[in-house]
Amino acid sequence: MPTCGECIYAEDPSPTLIRCRLKGIFRYLDDPACMEFKPAEKRKDSSQDIDAGTSGGERAISDDLLIRKAKPEDVDVILQITAEAFKDYTVYHLLEKRHGVKFGGRSWSEWKKRELKNFCESSLDRVYVAELNGRVVGYMTYTLDRERRIGEVCNNAVSPRYQRRGIATSLLRRVLETFRQEGMKFAYVKTLEHDMPARRLYEKIGFKELCRSIHYSMRL
Ligand SMILES: CC(C)(COP(=O)(O)OP(=O)(O)OC[C@H]1O[C@@H](n2cnc3c(N)ncnc32)[C@H](O)[C@@H]1OP(=O)(O)O)[C@@H](O)C(=O)NCCC(=O)NCCS
């Protein structure tokens, strides 16, 4: 990414994040897209941009983006983002489209929201949210398999209005950091083949494809 000369940057324990004021997106300096960024041109005003405080897993990525653990009062907005963002990227929606039925009288979004609600009820401590200017705009859930030492990135979504600004990347980096802190040695994530935004997000951060699976359905 050629620098626009308007970027700010700040020291984060690992790694360094920059935010482009013109494009409104967040990028890390170890991101190959940032190869053209010249360190000498960066402004060192990090104190205002990063607060590496750890209370409740909080991490201010910039003056307006905060990654923190979810609280009970965030659940409604998490469900709202789920309904807005997933659509074609859930098996429930594909089944509904193919068979023209609302399974069990519920739409795909109601099923998906129920899945997230159940997860939040049982494991809210495994949910991070991204708060932009005080508003929750994205989330990421995860599980830890302590026996195998594999951390799994589970559901994640960013409100469509706020996508392509590096928010999911920031959430994912935070979750991977948590995996390391929790002693995990591997990270795992699965997604649908046609979910290109998710695939690019994972591959950009270093995940490598392992295998593909196939979903079938038929009417009885
Ligand atoms: C996947 C998702 C969470 C990404 O959120 P995001 O905040 O927009 O992601 P980022 O801005 O951090 O983007 C990271 C990279 O993903 C890729 N990407 C994101 N959105 C994309 C899109 N619409 N088209 C193509 N690539 C996209 C890009 O490579 C991007 O990096 P770049 O902007 O530097 O090129 C979001 O698209 C979403 O909510 N999707 C619906 C829910 C979903 O499918 N979740 C994944 C479940 S496995």
Dihedral sign for Cα 164, 67, 65, 49, please.
Answer: negative
User: Per the domain annotation, does 216 fall within a domain?
Assistant: no
User: Per the domain annotation, does 217 fall within a domain?
Assistant: no
Q: How far is the CA of 197 from the centre of ligand 1 (A)?
A: 4
Q: Are residues 169 and 69 in the same domain?
A: yes
Q: How far is the CA of 164 from the centre of ligand 1 (A)?
A: 6
Closest CA to 181 of 137, 117, 128: 128
Q: Are residues 4 and 36 in the same domain?
A: yes
Q: Are residues 46 and 69 in the same domain?
A: no
Q: Are residues 44 and 82 in the same domain?
A: no
Domain that includes residue 13, residue range = 1-50
Q: Are residues 45 and 5 in the same domain?
A: yes
Q: How far is the CA of 112 from the centre of ligand 1 (A)?
A: 19
Q: pLDDT of 86-132, one tens digit each? A: 988 999 999 999 999 999 999 999 999 999 999 999 999 999 999 99
Looking at residue 179, its pLDDT comes to 98
Q: Are residues 71 and 109 in the same domain?
A: yes
Q: Are residues 78 and 149 in the same domain?
A: yes
84: three-class secondary structure by DSSP: helix
User: Per the domain annotation, does 212 fall within a domain?
Assistant: no
Looking at residue 59, its pLDDT comes to 72
User: Per the domain annotation, does 210 fall within a domain?
Assistant: no
For residue 115 and ligand 1, the question of a CB distance below 6 A is answered with: no
User: Per the domain annotation, does 59 fall within a domain?
Assistant: no
Element spanning 139, H or E: strand 135-145
Looking at residue 56, its pLDDT comes to 58
Any residues with CB less than 8 A from the CB of 153 and at least 6 apart, and which? 140, 142, 172, 175, 187, 188, 189, 202
Q: Are residues 37 and 88 in the same domain?
A: no
Which of 201, 204, 207, 212 for mutating ligand 1's site (highest number of atoms within 8 Å of CB)?
201
Looking at residue 4, its pLDDT comes to 45
For residue 170 and ligand 1, the question of a CB distance below 6 A is answered with: no
Q: How far is the CA of 195 from the centre of ligand 1 (A)?
A: 9
User: Per the domain annotation, does 60 fall within a domain?
Assistant: no
d(CA 108, CA 103): 8
For residue 82 and ligand 1, the question of a CB distance below 6 A is answered with: no
Q: Are residues 125 and 192 in the same domain?
A: yes
| Nearest atom within ligand 1 for CA of residue 190 | 48
For residue 101 and ligand 1, the question of a CB distance below 6 A is answered with: no
Q: Are residues 71 and 28 in the same domain?
A: no
Q: How far is the CA of 169 from the centre of ligand 1 (A)?
A: 8
Report how many domains make up the chain: 2
User: Per the domain annotation, does 76 fall within a domain?
Assistant: yes
pTM here?
0.80
Point out the residues of the chain with pLDDT beneath 50: 1-16, 21-22, 29-55
Domain with residue 133: its CATH number is 3.40.630.30
User: Per the domain annotation, does 73 fall within a domain?
Assistant: yes
Q: Are residues 43 and 73 in the same domain?
A: no
For residue 90 and ligand 1, the question of a CB distance below 6 A is answered with: no
| Nearest atom within ligand 1 for CA of residue 153 | 48
Q: Are residues 34 and 135 in the same domain?
A: no
